Amino acid sequence: MEFRKYLRQGIWGLADKALPVVYGIGYVLLVIRVLPEEEFGLFVLVQEIFLIISGLATAFALQPLLKFGSEDRTEQAGLQTSAGVLHALFLLITSIAIVALRNPVSSALQAPGLAPLLVYVPAMLAASFIRNTSLTLLQSRFLIQQVFWVDSVHFLGVPFFVWVVSRLHLFDSALDLILINVVTLSASSLLGLFLSRRLISLTLALRWSDWQRLISYGLYSLGGMASYFTSTKADTFVLSAFFGPVQVALYNAAKVFTRIFDMATQVIQMLVLPASSRLSSRGDDPSLKDLVEKSLLFATLGMVPVCAVMLAAPEPLLALIYGGRYADAATLLRIISPMALVVPVLAIGSSVLMGLGEARAGFVLSVQTLFVSLAAYYLLVPSWGTVGAAWGFVLAAFIMTAITVVFLRRFVTVTARGILGRMRDISAFVRQQAEFLRGKV
pLDDT-wise least confident of 154-158, 187-191, 290-294 = 290-294
- pLDDT exceeds cutoff 90 at 21: no
pLDDT-wise least confident of 180-184, 204-208, 243-247, 333-337 = 204-208
Would you list the domain boundaries of the chain?
2-440
For 259-284, what is the mean pLDDT?
A: 75
> What is the percent of the chain with per-residue pLDDT over 90, rounded to a whole number?
28
- pLDDT exceeds cutoff 50 at 1: no
> Do residues 187 and 154 make contact, with C-beta atoms less than 8 angstroms apart?
yes
> What is the percent of the chain with per-residue pLDDT over 70, rounded to a whole number?
88
pLDDT band at 29 (very low <50, low <70, confident <90, very high): confident
143: left (phi over 0), alpha (psi -120 to 50) or beta: beta
Q: Of 30-44, 273-287, 362-376, which one has max mean pLDDT? A: 30-44
Average of per-residue pLDDT values in the chain: 83
pLDDT tens by residue, 405-441? 888 888 887 777 777 777 776 666 666 656 655 665 4
- pLDDT exceeds cutoff 60 at 332: yes
Hey, how many other C-beta atoms are within 10 angstroms of the C-beta on 431? 10
pLDDT band at 25 (very low <50, low <70, confident <90, very high): confident
In three state form, how does the secondary structure of 301-360 look?
HHHHHHHHHHHHCHHHHHHHHHCCCCCCHHHHHHHHHHHHHCHHHHHHHHHHHHHCCCHH
In three-state secondary structure terms, 72 is coil
pLDDT tens by residue, 51-63? 999 999 999 989 8
pLDDT tens by residue, 92-140? 999 999 999 999 999 999 998 999 999 999 999 999 999 999 999 898 8
